[in-house]
Amino acid sequence: MSNTIPSAVLSASQLSYQYRGGTLLSFPDLHLDPGEVLLVLGPSGCGKTTLLHLLAGLLPPRTGSIALAGQSYNYTQPAVLDQIRGRNLGIVYQQPHFIDTLTAWQNLRLSPFAQSKEELLELAQQIGIAHLLKKYPQEMSAGELQRLGIARALAHRPGLILADEPTSALDRRHCLAVLERLQTHARQYNAALLIVTHDDRLMTAIPQQITLDYQPAAAQNQQV
């Protein structure tokens, strides 16, 4: 086994995906180094969430390859892929899902790789959910659930965070707090951060950005 430390947290090349009945979505190559923060922009329907799901290993690409922390995704070995993702990846979903029968705190502690209780409490404090930890998900507002989803994504100190519209339900104060926490995480743990967003507040704060092209054939192929 090699002891070489991979320089890139994430690299993806020649990625494409096609939904049933849709057109082929093609994506630019990506290479994220430790500590790098990248915004992915583009009009609605251009494929931002699809790209994020490909990078997260949730969808198998039609073409191309992805490596996370130096390990290539192998879709024929889902257990190995789960292991790579479980250790290295934190995902902030556009629509967060939690286990309804568990409290916010129990949801936060679910990952087998989660930090200590004290560290998780500090994280909850920084993200502004410390006072909500005894609540169940159905008792929380959309913005509170979004913050819980961000805390959960950071709970195991991932080397890569993929965040889909992480601030869409947040007011200015919480948006800034979450942004600060995500950027601090990237600095502190040398983690790469990729954010898909429409949020002007993030566009102003994060200079490194790519914009996906809208691929209108996707719309033309639709039959009503």
Ligand X SMILES: Nc1ncnc2c1ncn2[C@@H]1O[C@H](COP(=O)(O)OP(=O)(O)OP(=O)(O)O)[C@@H](O)[C@H]1O
Pick the closer one to ligand X by CB: 188 or 222: 222
Helix 142-154 to helix 117-127 angle, to the nearest 10 degrees?
Answer: 140
Judge contact between 183 and 26, C-beta under 8 A.
Answer: no
Say how far apart CA 78 and CA 100 lie, in whole Å: 26
Task: List interacting residues with ligand X (CB under 6 A).
Answer: 19, 22, 42, 44-50, 218
Chain centroid, CA 219 distance in Å: 26
Q: Is residue 197 within 8 Å of residue 208, measured between CB atoms?
A: no
Nearer to ligand X, 34 or 45 (CB): 45
Q: Which is nearer to ligand X, 42 or 57 (CB)?
A: 42
Q: How far is the CB of 95 from ligand X (least distance, A)?
A: 10
CB of 218 to ligand X, least distance (A): 4
CA torsion through residues 49, 54, 57, 62, sign: positive
CB of 36 to ligand X, least distance (A): 21
Measured from the CB atom, the residue of 49 and 106 that comes closer to ligand X is 49
Shortest distance in whole angstroms from residue 198 CB to ligand X: 7
